[in-house]
Homo-oligomer: A and B are copies of this chain.
Amino acid sequence: MEILLAQSAGFCFGVKRATNMALEAAEKYEHICSHGPIIHSPQMVEKLAAHGVDVVSDIEDIPAGAVIIRSHGVSADELHQILDKDLDIVDATCPFVKKAQDYAQQLSREGYSVVLAGEAEHPEVQGIISYGTETDVYTVASFEDAEKLPRMKKVGVVAQTTQSYDNFAQIVESCLSKCRELRVFNTICDATTVRQNEARSIAESVDLMLVIGGYNSANTSRLARICKEIQPETHHVETAAEINPEWFHDVDRVGITAGASTPQWIIDEVYEKVSQVGK
């Protein structure tokens, strides 16, 4: 059995940076916590916990000391709450997410209705839209969502950094039909596009596709959806333990990729397990 492992599988720049900052902070501070899980990988969060990084969801519950702002960033309100608590801040917000926040703020200040192409429930999205307070702000997940928007005078579009380009382009197309002036900042992270394109190309050439990453990771779930459209035999797994040897009957070629928040050791374990099954 042949195994094709995507070169782009695993940690992106922002996630690598955030986990490194968290590990360094864990050495510096006796007690430190992160506001929500630093990245959407339960296994990595567990590992950081072993180094003393606790996860606290509610800012009110953060004890005195230091706090890590996770890669997804925080909303403007949350930032004010954190500043009010006079905590040391380790800001691990992904620089690309920060850019999307800045553009949302700029567009809103310049009078554009802001449309964010992304998933309303995602913390990155909630952060970004919180900076567009001076005009109407809409979060749309799809072309169909965008079609329901009202007519507007000036529309500014930004994207969740892990959006698929095609979905984003369709949302832009819909926005164009709703206004006379459209301004678009394509804030999709290149790493996302590269990872999605490589996943597509691998999924086309294999009998079975594995996508590794946290079930709470939006970019991993999207990656799995993209692969499933091409190769229905696609499985989204979080760890090697979930791999079912029965999947591999009559399978000659297996493809493996992983989300931006999937640690290398988990990818290695999955690769090893698949190699054993395929022998």
- Contact residues of A with B, CB < 8 Å? 165, 169, 172-173, 176-177, 179-186
Contact = CB atoms under 8 A, between A and B. Distances in A.
Given A173-B173, A176-B169, A183 B186 contact: no
**How many copies, total?**
2
Interface of A is mostly: mixed
A163 to B, nearest CB: 13
A185 B176 contact: no
Nearest to A187: B180
B177 A185 contact: no
Nearest to A103: B181
B186 A184 contact: no
Residue of A173, A176, A181, A186 with most partner-chain B CB within 10 A: A176
A186 B176 CA distance: 8
A103 to B, nearest CB: 9
A143 to B, nearest CB: 12
A170 B184 CA distance: 15
A179 B185 CA distance: 9
A169 B184 CA distance: 14
Given A182-B186, A183-B183, A186-B182, A173 B169 contact: yes
A32 to B, nearest CB: 35
Contacts of A165: 177
